Structure formats: structure tokens, C-alpha cells
């Protein structure tokens, strides 16, 4: 199945809600936002509209991960690592894990980021205990460059509060 990464459209709200709701047991240990789920369809439509507006204003670039008509996850390019860079974030719906979905999403996001002339690096940050995310970064060609400690997020119970930081530069 071909994996496509693209902006969410309002018409994707129902499929997104189903993907999240069916993945809550899988997402809640790692994703603080999952503690607030499930939300109704109107909430998801509004969130998609807000994401499109944020991107249009030069902010983050939220994306959906699609396998055919199904939402296989979500991802994005986030402007929280300083000038010249993006942080890549992603989540994969429970039925799509261990199938290369995250790695393919990262590959497509890297291409999108480096298509922008001013971008010189992309990073992936993940909790040290989230071994699967570390493997996605490593197998995608990123280099482990360090870590940072912070308080564990109470809404993400598997979170240790220690992040690993992986980087891929344009030159790589």
C-alpha cells in the first residue's frame, strides 16, 4: 500500500477521529494530547482548519499519513528547534505500526523540509523509553546528537522526561 503524507482536509475529520479513537491504548502512553481524546467530529474539523491557518501564516505544517482512504497516522514539521530547522513529529495508528509507515512519513517530511531553501537541518525528538521512535530516526539516517531532561509529562504515563534528539542535516 502506498503511503501518502499530505495536509489534512476537513473531509478527513471523520477518518482521523476513527484512527485516533481506535488507537488510544497505543497512543496514550507516549502522546500527551491523547489524554484529551476522544473528541467529536466538530472538534476535529476545527483543529484541521486551525492547522491549515497556522501553516498559511508560516507556522507548523500538520500532515496526515494516508494509506488509501484510511488515516494511518499524523505527522508534521514543527518550528520549535530554531531558525533553519524543523522538528519532525509523528504518530502511527495502532493497526499500522511496524509496517514502515513512520519511516516513510519521515522520508516524505524530510524531502518537504529540504525543499525549502532556508532549512539546513531537521530533528526528531522522542522520549528515551520510546525505543520504536529511536529506531525510526536511526534507520532514517538521523544522527543522535544529544538529549535533554525535563519533567515527565503526567498525561503521557510512559514518558520518562528524558528526550533523545536526532538530527539530519541538508549535507547528509
Contact call for residues 37 and 74 (beta carbons, < 8 A) = no
* Residues with Cβ within 8 Å of residue 108, at least 6 apart in sequence: 3, 5
113 grid coordinates: 523540509
User: CB 46: neighbour CB atoms within 10 A?
Assistant: 14
139: region left, alpha or beta (phi > 0 left; psi from -120 to 50 alpha): alpha
Q: Is the pLDDT of residue 151 over 80?
A: no
Q: 3-state class of 96 per DSSP?
A: helix
Compute the mean pLDDT over every residue in the chain, rounded to the nearest whole number.
Answer: 95
What φ, ψ does residue 107 adopt, rounded to 5°? -60, -45
C-alpha torsion sign, points 165, 51, 100, 131: positive
Contact call for residues 51 and 75 (beta carbons, < 8 A) = no
Among 42-46, 155-159, 161-165, name the one with the lowest average pLDDT.
Answer: 155-159
Confidence band of 158 (pLDDT split at 50, 70, 90): confident
H or E stretch covering 138:
helix 131-139
C-alpha torsion angle, residues 56, 88, 121, 141 (rounded to 10): -140
Among 25-29, 147-151, 168-172, name the one with the lowest average pLDDT.
Answer: 147-151
Name the architecture of domain 3-169.
3-Layer(aba) Sandwich (3.40)
Report the distance separating Cα 17 and Cα 171, nearest Å. 38
Q: Where are the domains of the chain?
A: 3-169
Q: Is the pTM of this model over 0.85?
A: yes
* Residues with Cβ within 8 Å of residue 123, at least 6 apart in sequence: 81, 85, 86, 87, 88, 142, 145, 165, 166, 167, 168
Tell me: the pLDDT tens digits for 20-48?
999 999 999 999 999 999 999 999 999 99
Amino acid at each position: 500500500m502506498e503511503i501518502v503524507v499530505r495536509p489534512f482536509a476537513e473531509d478527513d475529520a471523520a477518518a482521523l477521529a476513527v484512527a485516533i479513537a481506535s488507537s488510544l491504548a497505543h497512543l496514550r502512553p507516549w502522546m500527551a494530547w491523547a489524554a484529551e481524546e476522544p473528541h467529536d467530529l466538530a472538534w476535529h474539523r476545527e483543529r484541521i482548519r486551525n492547522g491549515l491557518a497556522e501553516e498559511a501564516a508560516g507556522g507548523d505544517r500538520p500532515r496526515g499519513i494516508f494509506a488509501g482512504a484510511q488515516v494511518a497516522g499524523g505527522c508534521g514539521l514543527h518550528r520549535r528547534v530554531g531558525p533553519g530547522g524543523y522538528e519532525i513529529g509523528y504518530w502511527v495508528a495502532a493497526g499500522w505500526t511496524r509496517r514502515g509507515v513512520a519511516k516513510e512519513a519521515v522520508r516524505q517530511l524530510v524531502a518537504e523540509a529540504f525543499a525549502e531553501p532556508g532549512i539546513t537541518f531537521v530533528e526528531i525528538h522522542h522520549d528515551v523509553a520510546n525505543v520504536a521512535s529511536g529506531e525510526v530516526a536511526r534507520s532514517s539516517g538521523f544522527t543522535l546528537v544529544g538529549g535533554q531532561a525535563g519533567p515527565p509529562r503526567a498525561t503521557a504515563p510512559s514518558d520518562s522526561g528524558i528526550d533523545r534528539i536526532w538530527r539530519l542535516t541538508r549535507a547528509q
